[in-house]
Amino acid sequence: MNFQNILVTNEQHIATITINRPSKLNALNKATIDELHTAFMEANKDVNVKVIVLTGSGEKAFVAGADISEFADFDAKEGAKLAKRGQELIFDFIENLSTPVIATINGFALGGGLELAMACHFRIASDNAKMGLPEVSLGVIPGYGGTQRLAQLIGKGKAMELIMTAGMISADEAKNSGLVNHVTTLEDLVPTAYKIAGKIMRNSPHAIAAAIKAVNANFKDGVNGYEVEIEEFGNCFGTDDFIEGTSAFLEKRKANF
């Protein structure tokens, strides 16, 4: 499929999705969100794709925020619809994908950009990256899951401070707070993601999908994460991956998933 705002490549079982609006610092607009939804949906359905890497084009920004010009004149009802649609189409959608998604934060990840990175399963940042949720400086709050995921990742107190001050933190500060897993040079950013993806791909795709579902369950209201873990653990026993994994272990060879 031909996209206008993103680039998609597939190589060695890794789909790389690049937000490609460098003149707008890769800001998210409606069209980009729609294209991202399609790209992630297609990558998740592709049996040859084992890991998805998300990044932004250029060296300045992963995603510098949402395209404010699209909603500056919205009323309360339209604003709520905007947030609901975005969460359903891409932010919640990514979080619950069965294919692992790694965000590689190359520069600014602000507002909707940081929310997009936080929706991914984990994050790697370049040492020039800056992250923050500046929405309160515009008279609004994060609407794409930022108030929830930031607190989950770095704790309530730190999240409250970052949101209320509308400030930015460095890549090192983000790593120390648990917001990102690794910090690299800009040149090593995507190669590091691919290296980690290689480690992920040695393991059972079915088990990884089950683990994502079980971990996510702990953060859903009204869901008992332990019960989901028990169910998913049991389901694994009925898969070809389980047969191959246990057979390989007993036969002292590498599993071929």
Catalytically active residues are 115, 135
- H helix intervals, 57-145: 76-86, 92-95, 112-119
Place of tokens 């359903």: 88
Question: Helix (H, G, I), strand (E, B), or coil: what is residue 95?
Answer: helix
Q: What angle do CA 61, 159, 30 make, to 5 degrees?
A: 45
DSSP string, 127-195: TT-EEE--GGGGT----SSHHHHHHHHH-HHHHHHHHHHT-EEEHHHHHHHTS-SEEE-TTTHHHHHHH
CA distance between the termini of the chain: 29
Structure tokens at 141: 């709050």
Question: Chain-centre distance of CA 86, in angstroms?
Answer: 14
Q: How far apart are CA 63 and CA 108, in angstroms?
A: 6
List b or e across 27-51, with b for residues whose CB sees 16 or more CB atoms inside 10 angstroms.
Answer: bbbeebbebbbebbeebbeeeebbb
